[in-house]
Amino acid sequence: MQRHIQHGPINLDTPIRFNDALPDEVDIVVIGGGIVGVSSALFLANAGFSVSLMEKGRIACEQSSRNWGWIRQHGRDADELPIMMHASRLWEELDAATSGKTAFKRGGIMYLASTRAQMDKRESWLEIAKQHQLDTRILTADQVAEHIQQGEGAHKWIGATYTPSDGRAEPWQAVPALCGLAQAKGVTVTENCAVRAFEVTNGNLQSVVTEKGNIKCGQAVLAAGTWSSLLLQRHGVSIPQLSVRSSVSATAPMPEIFGGNAGDETMAFRRRADGGYNISISAQHDLYIGPGVLRHVLKWLPVASKHWRDTRFRSNAPQNYPDHWKTNRTWAEDETSPFERMRVLDPKPDTSKNETLRQAFAARFPQLGKPTLTHSWAGMIDAMPDIVPIVDRVPAIDGVILVTGMSGHGFGIGPGFGEIVAKIAARNPTGFEMDRFRFSRFSDGSKLRPGPSI
Ligand SMILES: Cc1cc2nc3c(=O)[nH]c(=O)nc-3n(C[C@H](O)[C@H](O)[C@H](O)COP(=O)(O)OP(=O)(O)OC[C@H]3O[C@@H](n4cnc5c(N)ncnc54)[C@H](O)[C@@H]3O)c2cc1C
């Protein structure tokens, strides 16, 4: 993998940027320096809490720098949509507060349809958009052509659904910029420092145990992405979180054919700030079979049966992955934890579909031809069986707030949940209906209601 290109995974060869000394005591420790942990730390600091943010590798080194960069309201789960609409406004404010470093831009998101059946499926979501006065609308083939420039003989779409107020940002630079903002508000941020455990007495959180010492705290926010379930498992708490690999490729800069983000049944693309495109095969991911998959298979059956075509099953995860057979599930506080053994989860991308991707791009934009792909990367997407996250207190450990399982769409909504976390920590009303995101839904006998796909 080429690491020096200025988009995609964080460049691990650059010097550590956030290296604050560990405080002895804070109000709240945030675990994980992805978009969710960083946003939580920022809003917690705004709310007046003293905060320490711990990241085992580098800020945004996992999913939060590897994603497509879509800030998407379009096609959201009905309960996520109000939070996402609010998050979209927050992105605007955060971009201003970072002097444009997030590169947030509203260029719209278009879900393109090549067949009537696909169009019907896309249109079926419009009722949810209407309920929330979102600006999503249906486009005919001619209207699509007014937005997306296609050359002679191009693949034709019969229509699309389109949300002009949707946007994008450059993940690899946005999250470190937001972290800089949090640090300027007083958050101590320490990269290369894994949290190994919670110190708990009589069910109450006392401190967070890191590889560099303990931090006393009244509360902790667990925003560790794909690693959250492993840390909880050490404390006897089970959540049915699984992870899938998803791969992305970047094109060299080329003329603008559409300034926003779009996808059809084959390919998704978005214009980057440097004039290139991030392109991916739509809805395709790899699931490595491990003990977590076997343990939670029944909970996953409803969604798996709906999306099995998008999933390729792999027999075994590479060593030290969270759900590898030999990854430790228990360890002592003074022992190297699995989080230190894998500072940065950097999956090898699946490049076997790159030629298909180039052909699909050229079929849609023959005037541009097959694009030059400068590089490819992958990320492990953490997901819950109903494709919406858990954002709630952990019942078994008083003081721990869990915000994880973003299910493939946490970049855009991250600031929204970050602000909600600060309200939960302060025991204030969140202003949103949060029942859908409750911790207990996987164990209280209620029927899971799968949201839209990852
Ligand atoms: C290829 C791909 C495309 C995607 N496209 C989009 C998109 O277009 N739009 C969108 O909204 N979402 C998208 N997503 C999903 C989005 O990236 C994630 O939902 C989001 O980044 C999750 O953020 P997070 O902070 O929860 O987790 P992460 O970004 O994974 O961050 C968790 C962090 O916690 C750290 N950590 C873990 N354990 C510990 C520990 N014990 N101690 C200290 N630190 C720890 C990790 O090192 C990591 O940096 C995509 C994801 C991928 C992989």
451 alpha carbon – ligand 1 mean position (Å)? 19
pLDDT at 306: 80
Ligand 1, atom 20, lies closest to the CA of 410
Position 298 scores a pLDDT of 92
Of 52, 64, 195, 402, the one to substitute when testing ligand 1's pocket (max ligand atoms within 8 A of C-beta) is 64
- Percent of the chain at pLDDT > 70 equals 99
Instruction: Supply the DSSP string of 295-336, one letter for each residue.
Output: HHHHHHHHHHHHHGGGEEEES-PPTT-TT-TTS-S---TTS-
User: Using the 8-state DSSP alphabet, how is residue 150 labeled?
Assistant: -
Kindly indicate the confidence band of residue 453, based on its pLDDT and cuts at 50, 70 and 90.
Answer: confident
How far, in Å, is the centroid of ligand 1 from the Cα of 227? 10
For ligand 1, the distance from its centroid to the CA atom of residue 300, given in whole angstroms, is: 21
Number of the ligand 1 atom closest to the C-alpha atom of 60: 49
Tell me which amino acid residue 401 is.
Answer: I
pLDDT the model gives residue 3: 44
Q: Has residue 98 got a pLDDT over 50?
A: yes
Contact 349, 323 (CB under 8 A): no
Task: Tell me the CA–centroid distance for residue 407 and ligand 1, in Å.
Answer: 10
pLDDT score recorded for residue 6: 65
- Residues 165, 134 contacting (CB under 8 angstroms): yes
Is the pLDDT at 2 greater than 50? The verdict is no
* Distances, alpha carbon 132 to alpha carbons 144, 156, 200, in Å: 24, 31, 42
Domain 1-102+168-241+382-454 has CATH 3.50.50.60: yes
| Closest Cα to atom 22 of ligand 1 | 410
Q: Which residues of 300-333 are buried (b: 16+ CB within 10 A; e: fewer)?
A: beebbeeeeeebeeeeebeebbbbbeebeeeeee
Sorted by sequence, the CB contacts under 8 Å of residue 342 that are 6+ apart come out as 320, 321, 322
Contacts 24+ apart (CB under 8 A), 87-91: 87/412, 87/413, 87/414, 87/415, 87/416, 87/417, 88/165, 88/166, 88/167, 88/412, 90/415, 90/416, 90/419, 91/167, 91/169, 91/412, 91/415
String of DSSP letters for 233-286:
HHTT-----EEEEEEEEEEPP---S-SSEEE-SSEEEEE-TTS-EEEEETT-EE
Tokens, residue 317: 């995860």
pLDDT for residue 284 is more than 50: yes
> What pLDDT is attached to residue 309?
81
- Which residue among 38, 411, 417, 453 is best mutated to probe the pocket of ligand 1, counting the most ligand atoms within 8 A of its Cβ? 411
Supply the pLDDT for residue 310: 85
Name the residue of 18, 43, 63 to mutate for ligand 1: max ligand atoms within 8 A of Cβ: 63
**What length is written for the chain?**
454
What does the pLDDT read at residue 379? 97
What does the pLDDT read at residue 304? 83
Residues 158-179: what's their mean pLDDT?
A: 97
Dihedrals φ, ψ of 367, to 5°?
-65, -20
Burial of 48 (0-12, 13-18, 19+ CB in 10 A): exposed
Helix 35-46 crosses helix 171-184 at what angle (to 10 degrees)? 30
Residue closest via CA to ligand 1's atom 37 equals 224
Question: Which atom in ligand 1 lies closest to the alpha carbon of residue 196?
Answer: 41
- Region 21-49: mean pLDDT is 98
Q: What whole-number distance in Å separates Cα of residue 336 and Cα of residue 327?
A: 12
CB within 6 Å of ligand 1 — which residues?
31-37, 54-57, 61-64, 66-70, 72, 194-195, 223-227, 231, 246, 248, 339, 379, 381, 404, 406, 408-412, 414
Q: What residue spans define the domains of the chain?
A: 1-102+168-241+382-454
Helix (H) or strand (E) holding 122: helix 116-123
pLDDT of residue 217: 98
Is 5 a residue whose pLDDT tops 80? Answer: no
pLDDT at 290: 95
Closest Cα to atom 38 of ligand 1: 224
pLDDT digits (tens, 9 = 90+) for 191-212: 999 999 999 999 999 999 999 9
358-391 per-position pLDDT tens digit: 999 999 999 999 999 999 999 999 999 999 999 9
SS3 category, 422: helix
Mean local confidence (pLDDT), 225-254: 97
Rounded-to-integer distance, Cα 263 and Cα 166, Å:
14
- CA–centroid distance, 126 to ligand 1, in Å, is 28
pLDDT per position as a tens digit, 294-334: 999 999 998 888 877 888 999 889 999 999 999 999 999 99
Structure letter (DSSP) for residue 226: G
The helix or strand, by DSSP H or E, that contains position 92, with its residue range, turns out to be helix 81-97
For range 238-244, the mean pLDDT: 97
- The DSSP code sequence of 35-58 is HHHHHHHHHHHHTT--EEEE-SSS
Instruction: For 78-133, list the strands marked E by DSSP.
Output: 109-113
User: Whose alpha carbon is nearest atom 9 of ligand 1?
Assistant: 70
By C-alpha distance, which of 15, 14, 43 is closest to 417?
Answer: 43
Q: Return mean pLDDT, the chain.
A: 96
Instruction: Give the nearest ligand 1 atom to 226 CA.
Output: 30
Q: Which has more confidence, 10 or 84? A: 84
pLDDT over 60 at 4, yes or no? no
Displacement of CA 231 from its chain's centroid (Å): 19
What separation in Å is there between the alpha carbon of 284 and the centre of ligand 1?
A: 17
Q: Which atom of ligand 1 is nearest to the CA of 379?
A: 53
Distance 141 CA to ligand 1 centre (A): 35
